[in-house]
Amino acid sequence: MLTKKELWIRERLFALEQNQPIKVNLEDEVLLFYEIISIDMDEARVLREYLEKIKVQNEKNILICYDKFYMSYAKEYLPSRVDYFAKLMNLSYSELKFRKMKGRWGSCSSKGVITLNTQLIKIDKKIIDFIVVHELSHLVHMNHSKMFHGLVKQYIPDAKALNRALKETNIM
């Protein structure tokens, strides 16, 4: 069986090698919209402030600062994207929440509550918009039917390509 699947296994191993996670130097850099930027940049001002307040400098406390930064940035950036697409799609949601999630980028409840992963701030803006439209589309179709995907594609024509790119980001 292994011999039959050797080519497939080699292709998967090669893909994994090519798709290594992006690493940042803690306290020097931050990943923002799929770009590594210096924390000296204005966009990282809030992160610098969090880091300056740490009493005990260890990796755990530094990572907590990064999580707080991503939460803060998500609350600043994402509502305008959700509102933009909700208006464009003529949809309304009941509440917008933010959480750091390990296994998903977002969710939409049957009560119209949209929850977005704060780690979205790490990925490309086009992919963020795709995820926003994806979650808003669940307000109409609470499944992943053809009609659901058709609605997503109506607002994000390259949804399939963006979904593939999302899977290859290796951020989560």
User: pTM here?
Assistant: 0.84
User: Cα 130 from chain centroid?
Assistant: 10
* Rounded distance between C-alpha atoms, residue 126 and residue 161, angstroms: 11
Looking only at the bridges linking them, the beta strands covering 95-99 and 113-117 are parallel
Domains of the chain: 6-168 (3.30.2010.10)
pLDDT band at 13 (very low <50, low <70, confident <90, very high): confident
User: Which stretches does DSSP call E strand in the chain?
Assistant: 29-32, 35-38, 95-99, 106-108, 113-117
Hey, what are 128's tokens?
């963020």
pLDDT the model gives residue 138: 97
Q: Is the pLDDT of residue 24 over 70?
A: no
Q: Residue type at 168?
A: E
Q: Residue type at 7?
A: L
Q: Is the pLDDT of residue 2 over 90?
A: no
Q: Express each pLDDT in 76-96 by its tens digit.
A: 999 999 999 999 999 999 999
* Rounded distance between C-alpha atoms, residue 164 and residue 172, angstroms: 14
